[in-house]
Amino acid sequence: VGRTMDPDGDPHKNSTHDNVGVPPPPDAPWTPAQLVTAYRRRLHIPPHQPLPPTRATLQLLVERHLQYIPFTNLALHTTTTATHDPDPILLEPWQDLADKLLTHQQGGCCLELNGLLAHWLRVGCGYPTVLLVPCFVYAGRERGHHSSKKPRFRTTASHFVVVVGLHNREKEDVLSLSNPNLDYYIVDVGLGEPPMGPLEYTLGKVQTTVEGMKSRLVWDPQGSFVNRQGRRRRCILLEWHVPTSHSTKATKEYNWEPRLQWDVHDAPFVHDPQNALSNLPPTVSSPSLASFAYVIPILRQAQSSFAQKFIACILTREYKVSLSTTTTTNNCGDDDDTLCFRLKRTHRATGDVEITLIRAPAPGREERTDNNSTGSTQEEAVVRVLWEEFGIPLAPGQRLVPPTTTTKKGRQRHPKKATTSKSTSELWEHL
């Protein structure tokens, strides 16, 4: 993205950066007009550019969201020095969430990003249907599941996608099962690398978004089943066409891999040429963003990848930029298992990867001075990267608290896995 700091290198002093939203008056509620203005400025959309409730607008908003509002778990790894309490994940009221993402230019987790986008689509853009659909994430050890190397779906709906209805005037004389004259799309700006555009909510169709990712919706092959809560479910899978583990630049191999799963009864607008879905109710009410508050303790669990690893990510059609922590010796280039922040830029067209390491000193050693040739400490270097690459400024008094654990040599890096109750650990069990 590329930002410029003030001459002293202090990101806090650039309060007039053109990416800053327009805050409401002190102690006053946000108005719809203020939300629209702040969102436009955050996404670099001119104030007079029309944003009608169309598919083209959805495409623009998803792309700009992924580019300018990072997906990040920074709130789990920062603290305010005055209280030493972890910074919050915000779901309500929506005005506080707008302050965080728009006025203060922070990124957010999946719930925050999709939640505020859904609110704006409904209030600021006038889409007739905006529905939050609880999803189950396909996860293994490499995706935040602590007890198995084999990926499966989590049993707790820890994510949601947004289903958006658009008016289709060609269907004005056609009776639709769910809502007349509407076409339905799925949007998601809350994953590390989601499709960069809306997906038609229809089954079996391979859809290619602007960055080249192929996606499709299919019925879950296990069919109808009863879950642990006694609810009968029939699920839809969102699958991505991804390289296999054997794929190389010279010989690329792909297969369809599931990414998300949701119950069709929570979003019955799907179009299936082979099934009229006549047994489903004609309308559904959307759960509130606040109803997903049960996910926050899961994200903060010591077993969660969110607690064990820092991540920030932005996407464009041309590249993906991510910042993450690692203690892998090979990644850091050391023999002392020290904590590194790894800045990774991946060029989509060529697959070329550029990696920059931001290192911390090993205990008992002097502070290194090779972080981006600035002579800065690790925290100062990370703060600089958060601003220059992701547009995230740390507020005065806000401190970065890197994850810590016990490494092979006994040093503290990431949090130890706490002993949890049976009910808590079951949140992370697979089907």
Integer angstrom CA distances of residue 119 from 31, 98, 125: 13, 10, 9
The residue range of the domain holding 330 is 308-362+377-400
The answer on 248 and 394 residing in a single domain is: no
Structurally, the chain folds into a number of domains equal to 2
Q: Which H helix or E strand runs over 164?
A: strand 159-167
- Rounded to two decimals, the pTM is 0.82
| Percent above pLDDT 70 for the chain | 69
Residue 140: per-residue pLDDT: 62
Q: How many CB atoms lie within 10 A of CB 155?
A: 16
Q: 58 with 100, same domain?
A: yes
Nearest to 263 by CA among 293, 242, 284, 278: 284
Share of the chain above pLDDT 90, in %: 37
Q: How far is CA 368 from CA 48, 320, 358, 378, in A?
A: 49, 28, 10, 8
- CATH number at 392 reads 3.10.450
pLDDT reading at 178 higher than 60:
no
DSSP β-ladder status, 311-315 and 71-72: antiparallel
Query: Which DSSP string do the residues of 56-103 spell out, in sequence order?
Result: HHHHHHHHHHHHHS-EE-GGGSEEETTT-PBPPP--SSHHHHHIIIII
How far is Cα 122 from Cα 102, in angstroms, rounded to an integer?
A: 17
Same domain? For 237 and 196 the reply is: yes
- The most confident of the ranges 21-25, 105-109, 192-196, 362-366 is 105-109
Classify residue 200: in a domain, yes or no: yes
The more confidently predicted of residues 101 and 414 is 101
Q: Is residue 13 part of a domain?
A: no
Are 226 and 312 within one domain? no
Q: What CATH number is given to the structural domain containing 87?
A: 3.30.2140.20
Range among 138-142, 211-215, 283-287 rated most confident: 211-215
> Highest mean pLDDT range out of 130-144, 321-335, 347-361?
347-361
Answer yes or no: do 288 and 331 share one domain. Answer: no
Domain match, 106 and 166 both = yes
pLDDT at residue 43 greater than cutoff 90: yes
Closest CA to 40 of 148, 151, 120, 126: 120
- Structure tokens, 372: 């981006």
Q: Are residues 76 and 214 in the same domain?
A: yes
Query: Which DSSP string do the residues of 214-229 spell out, in sequence order?
Result: EEEEEE-TT-SEE-TT
Phi, psi of 61 (to 5 degrees): -65, -40
Predicted confidence at residue 92, as pLDDT, reads 85
